Copies of this chain bind each other. A is one copy, B any other.
Amino acid sequence: MSQLTELLSNQHDQNVEELKELLRIPSISSLSEHKEDIQKAASWIANKLESIGLEHVEIVQTKGHPIIYADWLHQENAPTVLVYGHYDVQPVDPLHLWETPPFEPTIRDEKIYARGATDDKGQTFLHIKAVETLLKVEGKLPVNVKFCIEGEEEIGSPHLPPYLSENKEKLSCDVVVISDSDMWDRGVPAITYSLRGLCALELSLKTANSDLHSGMFGGGVQNANHLLVQLLSTLHDANGKVNVDHFYDDVVELTEFEKEQIKALGFDEEKLKKSLGLTDLTGGENNNFPYAERISSRPTLEINGLWGGFQGEGTKTVIPNEAHGKITCRLVHNQNPEKIQGLVKNHLEKHAPKGCRLEVSLQDTGNPFLTPIDSPMIQKAAEAYETVYGKAPVYKREGGSIPIVSDFNHSLNAPVVLMGFGLPDENLHAPNEHFNLENFDKGILTICSFLELVKK
């Protein structure tokens, strides 16, 4: 490693300059006026991969934004590592809150500030740099490597899952490694071994064929808002537990080891309450599970939106004839999103108040993800972190959802290792996004080390 370390140290400035080039391209996937920038970012990455010695470099056009493929397959009997990342970024508003412009990368206090710095251009680029460095030092890689880098992560990766299932052989590998998550804290690496899944529903309650005047009809006809409130109030019990039959049936409970890991991390509830302006943390099944378990390892049902009737200024004496709700559930291993959607729909239909028409539509789904902590690839990642950071990583479950992680897992039938190099306060999706350059450098080394370890 010492030769690598030296080389990387010499190349630090050059590496950061190249990262800045990539960060200058405003590749916002959700805004159609940036379509050309997306193509520009894809070309930039493809050229970079080619220039460092990757082969079969391809910009795969989709009906949306392109996917980049590249590989290096010259270790016939060695395992194959597939690296996933994304080069698209979130929008930047509110622009006035940025201290320096989002697409003019600026370094302050050894942090690089720009949209995409940590999510995910910086973290993707460090894999490219790791491969480049190994090729420079050794003339070859310890294992076979494939890259699959997409441009639609921030808009839900609509074209990636079909690409995966149509290219199983081309993408076949022994492990998928993704750096799009964060460390536990400064100097404390983390491996995310579980993600929650998701399912979404929308409901509408309709009564009369128009809004009605509360003077003429008030007390005589149903008010859609009353029915919505009545229906939605059946979804949780008094302790915040989801009140839908069979909702928890398939949940794989935490092992005692996992519970102890979570406890040992010592979550600071007082600090969180203060920062959120809350007097207590009583969401979800708060009488049965500690906060840190609830947000990472328990399924939820949230009413993300509800509306009915008049929302303007002042008073309108209307009896609304429509009321609406939006629901999402966060799901855990081994819940099936489509099955849970069905259970929630059934519940709503069963409890629908008399005298109304209920419409329930099923929306997005995403599978939960779990790789057991003791699986070999997780252990190799842990060793790599320990080599570079001098500290064993924390194993953590993330409460959020990255549906493509489960798609990689299922389509390619390979374990997925989430090796994050971001920090939790790096403002991803917010103004002043940044990436700590210390972790950019250490990340390159950690990935080099991981590739060496996978070989064994």
Determine the chain B residues whose CB is within 8 A of the CB of A230 once the complex forms. 233
Determine if B215 and A399 form an interchain contact, defined as CB atoms under 8 angstroms apart. Answer: yes
Determine if B198 and A317 form an interchain contact, defined as CB atoms under 8 angstroms apart. Answer: yes
Determine if A328 and B221 form an interchain contact, defined as CB atoms under 8 angstroms apart. Answer: no
A144 at the interface (CB under 8 A from B): no
Within 8 A of B (CB), among A289-340: 291, 294-295, 298-300, 302-311, 314-320, 323-324, 326, 328, 330
A52 at the interface (CB under 8 A from B): no
Which one of A198, A215, A326, A398 has the greatest number of beta carbons of chain B within 10 Å?
A215
Q: Using known A-B contacts A208-B277, A277-B208, A309-B305, determine if residue A283 contacts B320 with beta carbons closer than 8 Å.
A: no
Q: Using known A-B contacts A276-B208, A305-B308, determine if residue A295 contacts B218 with beta carbons closer than 8 Å.
A: yes
Which one of A208, A278, A299, A302 has the greatest number of beta carbons of chain B within 10 Å?
A302
Determine if B318 and A355 form an interchain contact, defined as CB atoms under 8 angstroms apart. Answer: no
A246 at the interface (CB under 8 A from B): no
Determine if B306 and A319 form an interchain contact, defined as CB atoms under 8 angstroms apart. Answer: no
Determine if A284 and B328 form an interchain contact, defined as CB atoms under 8 angstroms apart. Answer: no
Determine if A304 and B225 form an interchain contact, defined as CB atoms under 8 angstroms apart. Answer: yes
Determine if A315 and B323 form an interchain contact, defined as CB atoms under 8 angstroms apart. Answer: no
Within 8 A of B (CB), among A193-224: 196, 198, 200, 207-210, 212-223
Between A and B, 24 residue pairs with Cβ closer than 8 Å are A209-B277, A210-B276, A214-B330, A215-B330, A216-B399, A216-B400, A217-B295, A218-B302, A219-B294, A219-B295, A219-B298, A220-B281, A225-B302, A225-B305, A228-B229, A305-B308, A305-B318, A305-B320, A315-B326, A315-B328, A315-B363, A315-B364, A317-B330, A317-B401
With A219-B284, A307-B308 known, 11 other A-B pairs at CB within 8 A are: A196-B215, A207-B278, A220-B283, A223-B283, A228-B306, A233-B233, A303-B308, A305-B308, A305-B318, A306-B309, A317-B328
Interface of A toward B, CB cutoff 8 Å: 196, 198, 200, 207-210, 212-223, 225-226, 228-230, 232-233, 236, 240, 276-285, 291, 294-295, 298-300, 302-311, 314-320, 323-324, 326, 328, 330, 354-355, 363-364, 398-401
